[in-house]
């Protein structure tokens, strides 16, 4: 894809993938509490799968969603019920659950044909509330507000039992998800999504059935979220409605925005950044700052994320990924007043 991020150089991708697989070993040799870090990285990996799908929907097709935490929840609960109560193998759930969540995406896609922008955001958010209510209502299956224990994942006879093993499973799937998303973006389908985002009228006038493709975008995005939901349920071993708060949907949008909308890799970077911020950086300051500012821990986090998002929208609309691309050109052109190219 040429265009907004046209200075991409993808030679470093294989190196990055190797780094992903090496980092647990590095962490283990570096610190005793590596298990805690792995747990956080696992969370980031699961969220990445979801945000990459969210980027396809919001970044590439231009359809706002504040319902992705609900898609994640549907994925997690569906898989828990399919595997633990209906006795389906985990591998099968990995295929069926995303399809089911994708179909839920289609359901939400219907109103999206008529509404736009912020209103679509609110509608999808309303969907989040409904899903939460439904989870509590169907307590025979979901455990209601008490939550639900979920079995461990088993892949081809191996039980994925701890965070170490979870890491390799999650990141293998995350890498696959990213590759698939990049493929979609670079295909004709990806260009159609972008065409709809840039001008619905012109897309229609070119003979593109925008209703069909908007629905398809919701379906695909739902599938990514559903896939993330399966991994979430079977690596966390316990799910409850608290894990899928409405605020999480907002954080997903922040992750995509901070990383750089419409670039896939941006969503990956943004997710890593926000999850690390939330779990490693913010806790360092929480105690002192809550003392002086009389903020609850959760409020403080929301405040920081809001601030980060605002700063990015104003100063760096292309996100972390765009920043990295700019830095690369900067060094390449170094002595020759590279600043000019950025304005």
Partner 1 sequence: MLKMIGVETFYGKIKALHGVSLEVLEGQLVCILGANGAGKSTILKTITGLVEPEYGTIHFNGQRIDRMDAEDIIKLGIGHVPEWRRIFAELTVKENLQMGGFLLKEKDLIHERMVEAFHHFPILEKRKDQQAGKMSGGEQQMLAISRALMLKPKLLLLDEPSLGLSPLLVQDIFATIKELHKAGTTILLVEQNVNHALKIADYGYVLTTGKIFLSGTYEELLDEEKVREQYLGEGKYNRRAKVWSG
Q: Which residues bind partner 1 (CB under 8 A)?
A: 2-4, 6, 188, 191-192, 194-195, 197-199, 201-209, 262
Backbone phi and psi for residue 334, each to the nearest 5 degrees, phi listed first: -35, -60
What's the min distance (Å) between Cβ of 3 and partner 1? 5
HSE-up (13 A, CA, CB side) for residue 74:
27
Q: Strands 158-160, 153-155: parallel, antiparallel or unpaired by DSSP?
A: antiparallel
What's the min distance (Å) between Cβ of 309 and partner 1? 21
Q: Strands 153-155, 148-149: parallel, antiparallel or unpaired by DSSP?
A: unpaired
Choice between 114 and 328, CB closer to partner 1: 114
Choice between 141 and 213, CB closer to partner 1: 213
Residues 6+ apart with CB under 8 A from 212: none
What's the min distance (Å) between Cβ of 200 and partner 1? 9
Residue 157, by phi and psi: left (phi above 0), alpha (psi -120 to 50) or beta?
Answer: left
**Distances from the Cα of 189 to the Cα of 184, 192, 197, angstroms:** 6, 5, 13
What's the min distance (Å) between Cβ of 208 and partner 1? 6
Q: Are 240 and 119 in contact (CB under 8 A)?
A: no
Chain-centre distance of CA 164, in angstroms? 21
What's the min distance (Å) between Cβ of 2 and partner 1? 5
Choice between 161 and 206, CB closer to partner 1: 206
What's the min distance (Å) between Cβ of 216 and partner 1? 15
Choice between 10 and 205, CB closer to partner 1: 205
CA–CA distance, 265 with 271 (Å, rounded to integer)? 10
CA–CA distance, 307 with 252 (Å, rounded to integer)? 15
- Grouping H, G, I as helix, E, B as strand and the rest as coil, residue 104 is helix
- The alpha-carbon radius of gyration of the chain (Å, integer) is 20
Residues 6+ apart with CB under 8 A from 265: 178, 259, 321
What's the min distance (Å) between Cβ of 198 and partner 1? 4
Choice between 200 and 245, CB closer to partner 1: 200
What's the min distance (Å) between Cβ of 44 and partner 1? 28
Q: Are 253 and 267 in contact (CB under 8 A)?
A: no
What is the sign of the dihedral through the CA atoms of 27, 29, 33 and 34? positive
Choice between 145 and 209, CB closer to partner 1: 209
Query: What residue has token string 């039980």?
Result: 159
Angle (nearest 5°) at CA 125 between 122 and 126: 90
CA–CA distance, 98 with 227 (Å, rounded to integer)? 5
Choice between 2 and 339, CB closer to partner 1: 2
Choice between 232 and 265, CB closer to partner 1: 265
Structure token pair of residue 7 = 């200075």
Choice between 83 and 195, CB closer to partner 1: 195
What's the min distance (Å) between Cβ of 180 and partner 1? 21
């Amino acid at each position: 894809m040429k265009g907004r991020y046209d200075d991409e150089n993808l030679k470093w991708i294989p190196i990055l993938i190797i780094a992903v697989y090496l980092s647990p070993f590095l962490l283990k040799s570096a610190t005793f509490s590596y298990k805690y870090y792995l747990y956080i990285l696992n969370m980031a990996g699961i969220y990445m799968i979801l945000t990459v799908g969210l980027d396809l929907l919001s970044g590439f097709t231009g359809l706002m969603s504040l319902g992705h935490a609900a898609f994640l929840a549907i994925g997690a609960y569906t898989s828990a019920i399919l595997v633990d109560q209906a006795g389906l193998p985990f591998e099968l759930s990995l295929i069926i659950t995303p399809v089911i969540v994708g179909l839920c995406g289609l359901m939400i896609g219907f109103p999206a044909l008529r509404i736009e922008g912020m209103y679509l955001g609110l509608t999808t958010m309303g969907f989040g509330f409904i899903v939460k209510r439904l989870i509590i209502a169907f307590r025979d299956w979901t455990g209601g507000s008490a939550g639900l224990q979920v079995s461990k994942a088993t892949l081809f006879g191996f039980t994925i039992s701890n965070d170490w093993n979870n890491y390799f499973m999650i990141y293998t799937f995350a890498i696959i998800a990213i590759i698939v998303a990049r493929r979609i973006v670079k295909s004709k389908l990806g260009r159609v999504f972008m065409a709809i985002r840039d001008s619905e009228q012109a897309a229609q006038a070119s003979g593109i059935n925008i209703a069909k493709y908007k629905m398809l975008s919701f379906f695909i995005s739902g599938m990514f979220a559903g896939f993330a939901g399966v991994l979430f349920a079977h690596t966390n071993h316990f799910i409850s409605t608290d894990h899928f708060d409405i605020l999480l949907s907002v954080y997903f949008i922040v992750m995509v925005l901070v990383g750089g909308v419409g670039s896939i890799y941006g969503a990956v970077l943004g997710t890593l950044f926000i999850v690390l911020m939330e779990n490693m950086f913010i806790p360092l300051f929480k105690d002192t700052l809550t003392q002086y500012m009389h903020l609850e821990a959760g409020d403080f986090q929301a405040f920081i994320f809001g601030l980060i998002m605002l700063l990015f929208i104003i100063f760096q609309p292309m996100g972390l990924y765009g920043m990295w691309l700019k830095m690369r050109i900067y060094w390449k052109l170094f002595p020759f007043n590279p600043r000019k190219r950025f304005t």
